[in-house]
Structure 1
């Protein structure tokens, strides 16, 4: 939305957040979003128009549809299904001792770089900015990965203290969603994988596996 409106501000993010929050409050998961993304695109466009961010809701809805579609391609390729095999591959790829996460992913038949670059070019196109092809991703600083893992463990401990209430889990998922969007913009694959894996497990309310996932990386 920020790229589509040509500005980067809190109001743009809030417009999308208002629609996504409604989904979380109604316990709508990723599968629901994929099935109903066109309706969601229209809802976001309508809200953007109401907030005086855009003047053409129909055009905005079309842009948001494409944004959803390209985002789905990245998520589905990075973590197509939450199972032991996929989590093991993802865990190895983002582990602090892994020099090149793309080697791990490619060996497992996963290559998300084309999809990430496609999304980046899409953002550049709708913002009217030309961009040059970027080099391959560089590994994340291991200290950063450890720090982020400990942050997620802190979130999980907070949920445990709150007896895993739906309100607390919903709030955590909203925070994770915002962080995932930020990491996608930065093209930080290692941290993106960490947050997506943790987010998927929280959506499934599989708190035990979420803790195991994080402990293996800490």
Structure 2
């Protein structure tokens, strides 16, 4: 079988599958990881990555067969369905990291996976943003484990920031209005620095507004602050 760089993602699939089983069964025994490792080793020897993606039922059954040798499973069919539901989420993560064989991202990924402090940050700085996929997977784990996660609060634009944006629109984005707004925003940011890091969110709103003004992205400015 021709070597497929994405097969390096087997270790990632292994780990994420272990999380599904552990959360569904509320057990974090090392034998779960070993059992899934044995299942993935068997699959790895005989299947390409693309064929693996096309056979979620077979993967789930392989995992069930190996896991049930190590730990008691209350309901095999429910666990199997949870694994089948989780697999597309896992593949979305792997596809983002390994889009094709011999992709230049592989060096970046290798560095990220050996970086204990901020692997997701390293990927993001190199154009590989898997945070949305990881959040979706985290929500899925919470669901199958019976926990409820709070949804992130939507960021409300402060009224003082909105006032500047709306004032610019009212002034039809004239050069004099833009210049005055820039000066006002910079003054606001300078004064807020005395309250950093407590004022970090407000500083971020002002900085976003400033850059949109400087880049003359008025349509986007209206979408965000209108």
Q: TM-score, normalised by structure 2?
A: 0.47
> Is the radius of gyration larger for structure 1 or structure 2?
2
Indicate the structure whose relative CO is greater, using CA pairs within 8 Å and at least 6 residues apart: 1
Q: TM-score, normalised by structure 1?
A: 0.49
